[in-house]
Amino acid sequence: MAASVHGGRIGNLPAEANAFIGRGLELAEIAGLLGTSRLVTLTGPGGVGKSRLALRAAHAAKAGFRGGVWLVELSELRNPDLLTNAVAQATRLTEQTLRPLLEAVCEHLAGAPLLLVLDTCEHVLSECARVVRELLANVPELRVLATSRQALGVPGEQLLTVVPLPLGEHDDAVQLFAARAAAAVPSFALTEDNRARVAAVCTRLDGIPLALELAAVRLRSLPLERLLEGLDSRFDLLVSSARPRTARHQTLRTAIGWSHELCTPLERLLWARLSVFAGGWDVEAAEFVCHGGPLDPEQVFPLLVSLTEKSIVTRDVEGLVVRYRMLDTVRSFGAEWLAGLGEAAAVRRRHRDYFRWIARQGEAEWLGPGQRMWAERLTAEHANLRLAVEECLAAPEPETALELTGSLWFFWFACGFAEEGRGYLERALGRAPADGGPEHGLAVWAHRLVTVVPEDLEAAESVSAAYVWLAEERRLPVPALPLTGASLAVRGESARSAVLYGPGGQAPVGDGGAEFFQLMTLALQAYLLAGQAAFERCASVAERLRQDCAKRGEVWMRAWGDFFVALAGIGLGHADEAVASAREALTAKWRVHDRIGAAAVADLLVAAQAARGEDEPAARLMGISRHLWRTAGLPQLGRPDTTVFHREYERRLRASLGDARFTEAVREGGELGVEAAIGMALGGEGGSA
């Protein structure tokens, strides 16, 4: 199954922020190249419009790629080793696998024709080339459209050099400037009287789209004539003092530099300090990271608004969440200015410390009513968390990296980033002495936790030992933690799992990780009781888990309580109640982005639907569950030969429906988009979840 169906839509392309102007010949050439070549790379200098052209071309190509069109934005990626993770995340593959991730990505993308857009490759060029070679070799129907200041150098690569816009009075540069000017100043209109001056501005800016857009915004404070005069005088001054560069690069830097000169001193200072963020930021983060010296925290927001009005910063709104970001070229200018001020190291440390604080807050509040908010917030801050981790790993003291990577256990484990978390935790632990303090214990425990998958019993045993260590370090009571038994139960070895499961003991309190394990112990106890067919006892333990979670306002572990109530209901013959509880569990797991949990609940719904005699819907749900396991990076758990569950229900449903009807129903479920599949599992007809 290809990645085509993820999210209930064909890919993940964002909507275009404004009208696309010109580039008709380039768009036609890209379409032709994608029809004959598997790798097309758009090259050209910064600011020339490569990313926007690729996005427009990708939108135009959607109809030809049944497997979807998927955008992987690499500008915020600082560590080349995480490039495969970025591809996995963009294409909705959860990183919960001990297999090589690139192997899992290749399997995930295979199937239908698919277009992968890799945007801004030049700073991770070697790794891009390696990953693209592997993908093209192992995913036969894949096409790649890349943007980069340099060619990737992969065999078969076709290059298209993106040049500035044509400069005549009736050409694209003038049309782009006029469109952006009208957006900035609604009263502006391109007329025969001002067309020549607009063309002169465009010529002065060499037709570079980013330079044109920055200049168009200045019409809010300057008439067109003054704008042209200012360009002439400022450019002459800045060009004469700048170090040698290509003419077009010089023009773009001069345009940005001119915008910089027109900012107030505090606006320039904020611009420079904002350059430490990756992927965006909110107001709280900007106030913490960027204040200091002449810039008070309460001044940050109005200055941020002013930079937005000048198009130095862009503002994104999704629901009630407002975030800000900068284009790469503008960010780079700010970073150079920050280095010149001698503040780069200090501001990076404040950035690091802010996100250490965010991680600690998230851990403390994860098992509470803000759980969904934290899942979404930290997912939005993923690029900044990566930067903070890298800064910690570069620090001379190893404790900061141990603390940050360990505090994020809930993010790695519950939000689908286990593979990335494992890598960071291994790097942090590799720098620290083995007899470290509480931070070391926390990181060891977190590493064992994100390494637990059903095919790894040794990891399941070691996470129990790691938690005992952590609890002792924090002077907490130590509960029995039967993860080994749970792993055996998944395999259908109920008798052996029962031997390994011991008494619960007193659950620890007063710590985010400790509370988590208090709840997990109940969940695992319910799991093992169900495996022994002790369904009434299972239901009782699961109900206790639900109540403990309800007291905290917690939803992620509460969903496991719903899961085991449903599982016990099936065993006791209460199919209707089982379906209702399983749907509650699925709703919660989906809201906090837990794809592994959603796949497990989909399995349970197969059994619940079958118990109600709804065999064809149950077979469709089996196709859905197999697809969800694939998106979680654990396709083997969706195969009928892997677990007792799948073997048993495959046999039952085939016998009831017949081979042909069963196979068709499973196929139909597996080809639904994920959102549509979740909607169907929740009782709809394949609508949006």
Residue 602 belongs to some domain of the structure:
yes
pLDDT at 633: 59
CATH number reported for the structural domain that contains residue 277 in this entry: 1.10.10.10
Return the higher-pLDDT residue of 676 and 545.
545
Is the pLDDT at 260 greater than 60? The verdict is: yes
Band (328; pLDDT cuts 50, 70, 90): confident
Query: What contacts 169, CB < 8 A, 6 or more positions away?
Result: 195, 196, 198, 199
Residue 495 belongs to some domain of the structure:
no
Phi, psi (5° rounding) for residue 154?
Answer: -95, 140
- CA 82, distance to chain mean position in Å, is 12
CA atoms within 13 A on the CB side of 624: 32
Mean pLDDT of the chain: 82
CA 417 vs CA 85, 170, 440, 477: distances in Å: 9, 50, 21, 29
Is the pLDDT at 132 greater than 90? The verdict is: yes
pLDDT at 644: 52
pLDDT at 493: 45
Distance between CA atoms of residues 633 and 93, nearest Å: 6
Residues 91 and 121 in one domain: yes
Residues 207 and 334 in one domain: no
**Axis crossing angle, helix 224-241 with helix 247-261, rounded to the nearest 10:** 120
Closest CA to 494 of 629, 603, 644: 644
Distance between CA atoms of residues 307 and 323, nearest Å: 14
Contact 297, 285 (CB under 8 A): no
Residue 283 belongs to some domain of the structure:
yes
Domain count, the chain: 5
Residues 284 and 394 in one domain: no
Residue 623 belongs to some domain of the structure:
yes
Closest CA to 508 of 495, 518, 523, 519: 518
260 sits in which H/E element: helix 247-261
Residues 185 and 322 in one domain: no
Last residue in a domain, options 241, 261, 281: 261
Residue 166 belongs to some domain of the structure:
no
Residue 502 belongs to some domain of the structure:
no
Tell me the per-residue pLDDT of 445-492, one tens digit each, with 9 for 90 and over: 788 777 754 444 444 444 444 444 444 554 443 333 333 334 444 444
Residues 61 and 111 in one domain: yes
- CA 20, distance to chain mean position in Å, is 27
Last residue in a domain, options 112, 138, 161: 161
Residues 423 and 310 in one domain: no
Tell me the per-residue pLDDT of 17-29, one tens digit each, with 9 for 90 and over: 888 998 999 999 9
Q: What angle do CA 333, 347, 363 make, to 5 degrees?
A: 120
Residues 156 and 211 in one domain: no
99-109 average pLDDT score: 87
pLDDT at 502: 33
CATH number reported for the structural domain that contains residue 92 in this entry: 3.40.50.300
Return the higher-pLDDT residue of 88 and 470.
88
Band (265; pLDDT cuts 50, 70, 90): very high
Residue written as token pair 């319910």: 526
316 sits in which H/E element: strand 314-318
pLDDT at 9: 45
Tell me the per-residue pLDDT of 574-613, one tens digit each, with 9 for 90 and over: 888 989 999 999 888 888 777 778 888 888 888 888 888 8
pLDDT at 509: 31
Residue 457 belongs to some domain of the structure:
no
Residues 143 and 178 in one domain: no
432-440 average pLDDT score: 77
Residues 196 and 288 in one domain: no
Q: Helix, strand, or coil here: 433?
A: coil
Query: What contacts 300, CB < 8 A, 6 or more positions away?
Result: 270, 283, 286, 287, 290, 291
Distance between CA atoms of residues 351 and 289, nearest Å: 5
Contact 181, 148 (CB under 8 A): no
Phi, psi (5° rounding) for residue 314?
Answer: -110, 150
39 sits in which H/E element: strand 39-43
CATH number reported for the structural domain that contains residue 543 in this entry: 1.25.40.10
Residue 418 belongs to some domain of the structure:
yes
Contact 112, 141 (CB under 8 A): yes
Residues 124 and 245 in one domain: no
Residues 410 and 541 in one domain: no
Last residue in a domain, options 321, 342, 363: 342
Range of the domain at 397: 351-451
Spell out the SS3 assignment of 592-651: CCCHHHHHHHHHHHHHHHHHCCCHHHHHHHHHHHHHHHHHCCCHHHHCCCCCHHHHHHHH
**Axis crossing angle, helix 265-274 with helix 283-290, rounded to the nearest 10:** 100
Residues 110 and 249 in one domain: no
